[in-house]
Structure 1
Amino acid sequence: MELSFNLIAQQLVTGLALGSIYVLVGVGLSLVFGLLTIVNFAHGAFFMLGAYVGVFVFAKTGNFWVCMVAVPLITGLVGILVERFLVRPLYGRGIDYPLLLTFGLAYVMMDLIRMMFGVQGEPFETPEALQGAIDIGIGMFPLYRLFLIGVTSVVLLALWLFLEKTRFGLIVRAGARDPLVLRVLGINISTVWLAIFGVGTAIAGLAGLLAAPMRGVSPEMGVPILVEAFVITVVGGMGSLGGAIAAGLLVGVVVSFTTLFQPELAEFSMFALMAITLIFKPNGLFGRKGLMS
């Protein structure tokens, strides 16, 4: 295969678009783990829930932009209820208790979706305004994938501003380092955990909506994305938001170029990248020691 600059550039942009979904899923998972030290096995189920909420809202309104607002709000609200009534009673009992809870919750959510929408899946077309392709100087490129890159950039900027420029963000960062300090200062750490779990699940739901036109919508769609999310988290470093961003984009580009040369090895390539990372950087690209202890 003859490689040209345009071909390489197009494949790079394709990888960044794919990596945008990985970034959103990985950031949501890392946000919850980094602060609450909870391995959320229901994260893929919230991704799936976001896609189905999008299907429902779009069927009622016919407006994709309404879905963009409704999906993170609804999935975030469900996440808040899960944290308050299911996860919170398990704090302090060891990391395996919430892990097993969220593992079972994922299957419950999947079965509920099957009961409500059926087992065959639902179609979700690319919004009319985002169909087609545009010339970005290196060739024609699907408009929707460029939209993915743009939305992910906006979400990451908003998350950075929230964590770095607000008082609540300062509390979140302090709580991630030492929750005891917040309790001494009289800050209700439970409220912080509740908000972060809600934000993490809201981002997962938004990722599910954005992935729906490319991946389709089915009750099982959360299973492979959960595996991919943990690959992102391990490569980037458990609990590291910066690592999740870097790893998501890196995995997207690696999968994109592997698809170009050896399509049958595309899925294998991300696990190979994870293995190589663990050999040379056991804590991931930006992880820190002792987070699981």
Structure 2
Amino acid sequence: MTEIFGYPLPVILGQLMLGLVNGSFYAMLSLGLAVIFGLLGVVNFAHGAFYMLGAFAALFALEKAGINYWLALVVSPLVVGAFGIVLERLLLRRIYKLDPLYGLLLTFGMALIFEGVMRDQFGSSGQSYPVPEALQGVFNLGFMILPIYRAWVILASITICLATWFVIERTSLGATLRAATENPRLVQAFGVNVPVIVMLTYGAGVALAALAGVLSAPVVQVSPLMGSSLVVVVFAVVVIGGMGSILGAIISGLALGMVEGFTKVIYPEASSIVVFVIMAIVLVLRPAGLFGKE
């Protein structure tokens, strides 16, 4: 049997596949962060909290209103995205012209408030969300047994990420968004309502985080702490890919998830820090990130 670093190839391939599942969540969350920072210049530290709220919204929708998983994929991101829009209108719009540090501090405070309220109401223990019936079962890949739901997560995440990249980078809407952030006065002179564009952009970034939360609900325990444990890693992913780089966020998220999975096989003790080690190396060699602009 073929071995890599003394480990059977099927073990390596299986761990890489599991790492790709985690990488799918990293990619979606870092994509939302990159959209918000790249177009608005806000370091949205509340992103993990919106991810958590998306998962809770799906759980509440199922338990209180009988809304199934497929409908929750649409409803939960819309509800949490609308909540994000309200916050943008009430709070964030007041700090756009200030140093990005103010945005980081404000959104960090928001994250602590959301997490504290949810923990006070529901405790710190996790709750389970059932895997939808259509996605139950497994695939036999030969080198591992892959649950169908995890395969769905990979496919859905990559599709959503690429669709978002295409809209922002290859459509007239994306060109308008980029122009509105670079020269808002000029774009406003052409009759474009820039404040509305900014508001909807932030809402879309928040909705992406909530959508990732819905996708993760059947995989992890839904708890108030699920976002805080992930957001630091996602920020590292964004820094590696390049702050504001959409493509960098997608590629780095998927790749780093697989690197993390590979590390769990050859050196498990380092799996929790390998992303940060890579971030430190990237910052030394290329401070703007792999895909960022100097």
- TM-score after normalising by structure 1: 0.91
1:37 to 18, 37, 41: 41
Give the whole-Å Cα distance in 2 for the aligned partners of 1:89 and 1:176: 16
Counterpart of 1:107?
Answer: 112
- Residue 26 of structure 1: CA displacement? 0.1
Counterpart of 1:206?
Answer: 211
Distance 1:139 1:101, change over 3 A: closer
- Residue 20 of structure 1: CA displacement? 0.4
- Residue 62 of structure 1: CA displacement? 5.6
1:28 to 1, 12, 32: 32
Q: Mean Cα displacement is larger for which, 47-56 or 1-10?
A: 1-10
- Residue 99 of structure 1: CA displacement? 2.0
1:57 to 56, 61, 65: 61
Q: Percent identity?
A: 41
Counterpart of 1:162?
Answer: 167
Give the whole-Å Cα distance in 1 for the aligned partners of 2:226 and 2:157: 20
Instruction: Show structure 2 runs of 5+ residues with no match.
Output: none
SS at match of 1:70: helix
- Residue 6 of structure 1: CA displacement? 3.5
1:261 to 258, 266, 270: 266
Q: Mean Cα displacement is larger for which, 21-30 or 146-155?
A: 146-155
Counterpart of 1:127?
Answer: 132
SS at match of 2:139: strand
Q: Which amino acid aligns with 2:238?
A: T
Q: Mean Cα displacement is larger for which, 132-141 or 59-68?
A: 132-141
Q: How many residues in Structure 1 have an aligned counterpart in Structure 2? A: 289
Counterpart of 1:12?
Answer: 16
Report whether the alignment pairs 1:80 with 2:53: no
Runs of 4+ in 1 over 6 A off after TM superposition: none
- Residue 103 of structure 1: CA displacement? 1.3
The question of whether the paired residues in 1 share the 8 Å contact of 2:55 and 2:210 is answered with yes
- Residue 138 of structure 1: CA displacement? 4.3
Give me the CA root mean square deviation: 1.9
**Cα deviations across residues 9-45 of structure 1 (Å, max 9, x unaligned)?**
3333222221100000000001000011001111111
Give the whole-Å Cα distance in 2 for the aligned partners of 1:264 and 1:55: 33
1:228 to 227, 233, 236: 233
**Cα deviations across residues 100-152 of structure 1 (Å, max 9, x unaligned)?**
21111111111222243333332223333323311235442121211111111
- Residue 79 of structure 1: CA displacement? 0.9
Give the whole-Å Cα distance in 2 for the aligned partners of 1:164 and 1:244: 14
Q: Which amino acid aligns with 2:47?
A: H
Q: Mean Cα displacement is larger for which, 154-163 or 102-111?
A: 154-163
Report whether the alignment pairs 1:192 with 2:197: yes
